[in-house]
Amino acid sequence: MQVVANENLIRTRVRLASAAHLAALAVFAVGLYVSWNSPTPDLEQMIASYAAIVVGLVLYNVGQVLLRRYGPRFRHDAAVAKALKGLDRRYTLLTFAHSKLPDYLLIGPSGVHVVVPRAHGGQITYHANRWRKDSAGGLRRLFGMFGGVPLGDPSRDVETGTQRVRARLKARNQDEAIPVDGVVLFTNAAVKLRIEGSQVPVTTAKGLRNVVRPPKGGRDKGLADARVANVVQALQA
């Protein structure tokens, strides 16, 4: 399997995150300066101080969103590649191919798979179209409230991702018959899954290859190497 990462996009987004954090600190500093130098602030000074707080929080949140997607600490490149280890050269893993595409795309003879990874551990439940992570106790629960990465809705991310891939392939004049599927991947070895009624495949790292590589004689023989290469090229930035 080949792994192709869009390093230019990753570096640009990490730099933007750092810039947003620095700008947030600068805005907070301005707000503090105004407050400290005005023991009895008037209305305009109070508005300026509160505006600085709001703008600073927005900038900080923008930086956090970018870091949680592109930052080295939160990326899933290595975990996804490790879970797919053993696939032959016909498969290509694209990471961060384009800012408007899903972050992890596996292209091979069976088509395109949108891989939506999560690093959460513990008990994960899917029931009645709802995802839930059972709350931990003690300090772990407290730390999870501040700075933890939310579970979100992986099923919706898969649906949105497959729609974007199909739109991209259509815009690049690729055959609309190319299969585009998705899978939710939990990379934490300590995760415990209870999935009921999910229309999207949900798996751990051990089972990922079985999801993306159909049995012999199935769709695995569907796309020729040249066609797979055209799909890879169409999805790259």
pLDDT tens digits along 16-43: 999 999 999 999 888 888 777 776 767 7
The pLDDT of residue 174 is above 70: yes
Q: At what angle are helices 154-171 and 225-235 packed, to 10 degrees?
A: 100
165 CB contacts (<8 Å, ≥6 apart)? 101, 102, 105, 112, 114, 180, 235
56-91 confidence digits (pLDDT tens):
999 999 999 999 899 988 899 999 999 999 999 999
- Please tell me the pTM assigned to this model: 0.85
The three-point CA angle 57-77-118 to 5° equals 65
Provide, rounded to the nearest whole percent, the portion of the chain with pLDDT above 70. Answer: 89
Which among 155, 159, 168, 150 is positioned nearest to 232, based on CA atoms?
168
Order the strands of the 130-133 sheet from edge to edge: 130-133, 122-127, 191-195
Decide which of 149 and 232 is more confident: 232
